[in-house]
Amino acid sequence: MAAPACNATRDDRVRDTGPLTSAERRLTALLQASIDGDRHAYRRFLDELARHLRIRLRKHLRQQDADVEDLVQEVLIAVHKGLDTFRPDVPLTAWISAIVRYKLADHFRMNARRNELFEPLDEDEASASASVTAVSSLDALDARRDLDRLLATLPPRQRESIVQTRLWGRSVAETAASTGLSESAVKVGVHRGLKTLAAKIRRKAHED
């Protein structure tokens, strides 16, 4: 509490000092504004949060950046879904940290499960690595098939929106033009479709 920069008026529970508190204060203000309906502030909040999360998660995961980015997105979605559960009397960092811990634990559990499936291969290293490649290309085929099957279960609008924007890399505007839907309908379709897919994949992962 001796830090001269510390002029936070409320919550002494936040003991971070210096730039972190000012970042937190800014983020909290942005979040308050977005909860009050300011979409612009919400976007800036998510942008900044993503940057913080990336830095933080890199420390936890010394693996590929793809994992970090996946997790950043998971947390962003969780924050978005959990917006109703943010309480002004709880420090923003405490709220975010709890969500990050939850998603990290989830991630590690999933990884452990995946590794269990792929570890016991061959003693011999050469053939082991060969079968790893074989397994992973088979895996890719499998994944492709799974994806097609999952996509087929979606309503056509959502399926088209996802296939065009996510698999073919088209922009929302292009997709809207080619499908005759409005741009917002494409966005909503992608959002809802991905949500449904995520739920299905999750269920499937549980069954396996």
Is 83 a binding residue for other proteins by CB under 8 A? The answer is yes
Please list, in sequence order, all residues whose beta carbon lies within 8 angstroms of the beta carbon of residue 201, skipping any fewer than 6 positions away: 150
Q: How far is the CB of 178 from other proteins (least distance, A)?
A: 18
Q: What is the DSSP letter of 12?
A: T
Is 11 a binding residue for other proteins by CB under 8 A? The answer is no
- C-alpha 99/C-alpha 154 separation (Å) is 29
- Looking at 26, 114, 202, 204, which residue binds other proteins (CB under 8 A)? 202
Contact 161, 181 (CB under 8 A): yes
Is 106 a binding residue for other proteins by CB under 8 A? The answer is yes
Is 46 a binding residue for other proteins by CB under 8 A? The answer is yes
Q: How many residues bind other proteins (CB under 8 A)?
A: 39
- C-alpha 96/C-alpha 125 separation (Å) is 43
- Look up residue 197 and give its two tokens: 């897919």
- C-alpha 155/C-alpha 89 separation (Å) is 42
- Picking from 17, 82, 10, the residue whose alpha carbon sits closest to that of residue 49 is 82
- Looking at 33, 82, 131, 135, which residue binds other proteins (CB under 8 A)? 82
Is 61 a binding residue for other proteins by CB under 8 A? The answer is no
Name the one range near other proteins by CB under 8 A: 57-65, 86-94, 120-128, 149-157: 86-94
Q: How far is the CB of 145 from other proteins (least distance, A)?
A: 23
- Looking at 47, 122, 124, 146, which residue binds other proteins (CB under 8 A)? 47
Can you state the angle between helices 183-207 and 172-179, rounded to 10 degrees?
100
Q: Which is nearer to other proteins, 101 or 114 (CB)?
A: 101
Contact 162, 190 (CB under 8 A): yes
- Picking from 74, 79, 80, 78, the residue whose alpha carbon sits closest to that of residue 61 is 74
- Looking at 25, 80, 144, 204, which residue binds other proteins (CB under 8 A)? 80
Binding site for other proteins (CB under 8 A): 35, 39, 42-43, 46-47, 50, 69, 72-73, 76-78, 80-87, 90-91, 94-99, 101-102, 106, 184, 187-188, 190-191, 202, 206
